[in-house]
């Protein structure tokens, strides 16, 4: 599933392609969405906003199209009227005069009025967005100290969108590795300095991923790896998907474990359990 950084980058590309444009055609591949085609064709896209792992494409007729990629959704961008060669199903087409934004394979698409957004099952429960530059370290610390979250294991908490939105599986492994924390730790087990560090890593790792297109390892190590011709998949992350490969800090082989029925990667010496 795309995580917050990927969704924010997709929103940037949608905005670049069609924001401010009058839609020559809006089409949906879902039967229940068909009545909206005539109402949105001819409307202008006023804003494209990423919220956690969802995107709101706002129109000047007073509604927004909510979309969530889920596991398989993928955005493509083409010249108006052109389509990619893919076996995926086209779920939404937003065609401007020159360019189109095309969403394939996603089924979580709906139209929302502004007053419906706060009570939406996904949007209404989102915590601070880690990619949002206006979200501060202090806001994340407040979440870590909140009674709803402070007693939960970090391995599960870092996937909860009501805690901090936009985090997902690869970010979870990377944040914990950088913070030197095992997934069994709970916020209430940490002292104030450790909570500050964890809050900083939550924001720094996520924002670096957004800025670099998914790279979460140290950028100096990344630059060195590029010069040596190391494949992208081997230098992209510090811990995630590196089972059996040496930890960048101590050289111990990274281990893969399951936490919450999802894979997590860690270095045992660098991330001792609680």
pLDDT digits (tens), the chain, 274 positions: 789 999 999 999 999 999 999 999 999 999 999 999 999 999 999 999 999 999 999 999 999 999 999 989 999 999 999 999 999 999 999 999 999 999 999 999 999 999 999 999 999 999 999 999 999 999 999 999 999 999 999 999 999 999 999 999 999 999 999 999 999 999 999 999 999 999 999 999 999 999 999 999 999 999 999 999 999 999 999 999 999 999 999 999 999 999 988 999 999 999 999 8
Q: Give me the catalytic one of 34, 125, 221, 262.
A: 262
Buried b (16+ CB within 10 A) or exposed e, 18-35: bbebebeebbbbeeebee
Catalytic: 262?
Answer: yes
Position 89 in a domain: yes
pLDDT in the model for residue 260: 86
Position 184 in a domain: yes
Question: 118 and 163, same structural domain?
Answer: no
Q: Give me the catalytic one of 9, 53, 91, 95.
A: 53
pLDDT in the model for residue 2: 87
In angstroms, how far is CA 165 from the centroid of its own chain? 8
DSSP state of 243: B
**Cα–Cα distance for residue pair 131/51, rounded to 1 Å:** 9
Cα angle for residues 88, 93, 82 (degrees, 5° grid): 75
Question: 113 and 167, same structural domain?
Answer: no
Position 210 in a domain: yes
| Structural domain boundaries enclosing 102 | 4-125
CA distances to 31, 183, 208, 226 from 179, in Å = 46, 11, 15, 25
Q: How many domains does the chain have?
A: 2
For residue 179 the two structure tokens come to 């913070």
Question: 97 and 12, same structural domain?
Answer: yes
**Cα–Cα distance for residue pair 241/195, rounded to 1 Å:** 26
Closest CA to 126 of 172, 68, 183, 75: 68
Catalytic: 3?
Answer: yes
Question: 193 and 142, same structural domain?
Answer: yes
pLDDT in the model for residue 64: 98
Question: 161 and 92, same structural domain?
Answer: no
Query: Which of 125, 151, 166 is the endpoint of a domain?
Result: 125
CA distances to 7, 29, 157, 187, 272 from 184, in Å = 28, 43, 10, 10, 9
Q: Give me the catalytic one of 3, 6, 19, 174.
A: 3
**Cα–Cα distance for residue pair 157/151, rounded to 1 Å:** 9
Position 130 in a domain: no
Q: Give me the catalytic one of 2, 5, 128, 248.
A: 2
Question: 147 and 71, same structural domain?
Answer: no
Question: 154 and 96, same structural domain?
Answer: no
Give the residues across from 65 on adjacent strands. Answer: 57, 111
* Beta carbons of 22 and 95 less than 8 angstroms apart: no
pLDDT in the model for residue 54: 97
Please say whether the dihedral angle defined by the alpha carbons of residues 143, 145, 148 and 149, taken in this order, is positive or negative. positive
In angstroms, how far is CA 250 from the centroid of its own chain? 29
Q: How far apart are the first and last CA of the chain?
A: 29
Position 131 in a domain: no
Catalytic: 256?
Answer: no
CA distances to 4, 47, 125, 164, 242 from 129, in Å = 8, 18, 12, 6, 27
């Amino acid at each position: 599933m795309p995580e917050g950084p990927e969704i924010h980058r997709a929103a940037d590309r949608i905005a670049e392609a069609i924001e401010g444009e009058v839609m020559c055609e809006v089409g949906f591949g879902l039967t229940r969405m068909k009545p909206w085609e005539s109402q949105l064709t001819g409307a202008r896209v006023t804003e494209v906003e990423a919220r956690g792992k969802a995107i709101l494409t706002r129109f000047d007729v007073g509604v927004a199209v909510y979309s969530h990629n889920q596991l398989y959704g993928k955005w493509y961008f083409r010249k108006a009227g052109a389509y990619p060669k893919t076996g995926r199903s086209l779920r939404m087409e937003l065609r401007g005069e020159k360019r189109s934004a095309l969403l394939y394979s996603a089924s979580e698409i709906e139209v929302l009025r502004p007053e419906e957004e706060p009570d939406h099952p996904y949007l209404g429960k989102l915590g601070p967005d880690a990619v949002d530059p206006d979200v501060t370290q202090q806001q994340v610390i407040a979440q870590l100290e909140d009674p709803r979250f402070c007693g939960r294991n970090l391995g599960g908490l870092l996937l909860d969108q009501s805690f901090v939105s936009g985090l997902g599986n690869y970010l979870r492994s990377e944040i914990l590795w950088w913070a030197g924390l095992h997934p069994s730790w709970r916020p209430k087990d940490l002292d104030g300095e450790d909570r500050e560090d964890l809050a900083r890593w939550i924001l720094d790792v996520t924002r670096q991923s957004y800025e670099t297109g998914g790279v979460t390892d140290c950028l100096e190590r990344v630059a060195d790896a590029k010069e040596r011709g190391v494949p992208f998949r081997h230098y992209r992350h510090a811990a995630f998907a590196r089972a059996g490969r040496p930890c960048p800090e101590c050289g111990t082989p990274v281990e893969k474990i399951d936490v919450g029925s999802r894979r997590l990667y860690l270095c045992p010496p660098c991330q001792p359990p609680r």
